[in-house]
Amino acid sequence: MEIILKQDIKSLGEKDDIVNVKPGYGRNYLIPQGFGQLATVSAKKVLAENLKQAAFKQDKIKKDAEGIAERLTSVKLSIGAKAGESSFGIKQDTVLVATVATFLTISKEMLSDVDGITSYIANRAPAKLREKESQELLFGTGDIKGVATTALPFSATTIALGSGSTPNEYDVLRVAVDLVSKSNYSATAILMNGTDKAKLELAKDNTGAYLFPSGNMSVAGVPIVESNSIALSEFLVGDFRMGAEIKERQGVTVEFFNQDADNAQKGLVTVSVSERIALPVYHNGAFVTGTFTTAKAKLKA
């Protein structure tokens, strides 16, 4: 049987090699241990595409390096010469520090009677805060302007598949990655709702083989990340390393208050969890957002 190796294996082959092994060795050892996958027609197509993309990137790096080397040969060192002005523009703007907070109310009896409840809350409450933080960082419209709020809307001005085509979700994401590159940024992640990601994982070709057999979900090398903060049928593609940055002014703080509203009368305790952060978005073009329905229609136009 044919197996695609997922890593180098001594005396057998290197990562991405297609090797012939005995069926028992493949099914009972290589595949279960994650050392390889069955070399189906679909898996071979995905491998070929990945290798093609890797070769393209390596060729681009080589050509870029050759171009730099060529330009360096004509560089003359002049001590004390005035530095040339860069075309890189910086616009001054103000980004506010905002407080992100959430709270819950529990009874004093629970605090006293349930073993470990305080440590549980101290660990669980910050996790709930992170959920709210994620929502603000993506879609905030107040002091925090979320990256999806300021992102460029999906456009098919550079790539259109034509009226006779049938665009799918993969096509949309591939064009979105290209749109980010047009702003001189490199997409580092694709955010999608978990259900939409599952639909892509379940997609099959005409032979019934999965298009993504290894479960390694990526588009042009950009990983797909599922997020409950992203609504169904929506997507956000961007350079999350260089396009924006989270600035933490104050870390997560967990506080317990007896005196809040009518807590004293009802024997309740309010648990407050908060942090102070800012989110400067350095370039709107570093992010592209939209809905699959609208984007597919634009690609077909």
> Could you give the domains of the chain?
98-144+245-278 (3.30.2400.10)
pTM: 0.60
CA distances (Å), 190 to each of 53, 174, 248, in order? 18, 10, 24
Q: How many CA atoms lie within 13 A of 8 on its CB side?
A: 1
* Closest alpha carbon to 290 in 153, 145, 149: 153
For every one of its 301 residues, what pLDDT tens digit does the chain have, with 9 covering 90 and above? 888 888 888 778 888 888 888 888 778 777 887 888 888 888 888 878 877 877 777 776 666 666 655 654 554 544 454 555 544 554 545 455 677 777 888 888 887 776 777 777 777 878 888 888 888 888 887 778 889 999 999 998 778 777 777 888 989 999 999 999 999 999 999 999 999 999 988 888 788 888 776 667 889 999 999 998 899 999 999 999 999 888 888 888 888 788 777 888 888 888 888 888 888 888 889 999 999 999 999 998 7
Buried b (16+ CB within 10 A) or exposed e, 82-96: eeeeeeeeeeeeeee
- What is the SS3 assignment for 275? strand
Q: Which long-range contacts (CB under 8 A, 24 or more apart) does 166-170 make?
A: 166/300, 167/295, 167/296, 167/299, 167/300, 168/296, 169/196, 169/199, 169/200, 169/292, 169/296, 170/200, 170/219
Q: Residue 257 — φ and ψ, nearest 5°?
A: -125, 125
CB contact at 8 A, 189 and 222: yes
What is the chain's Cα-based Rg? Answer: 26
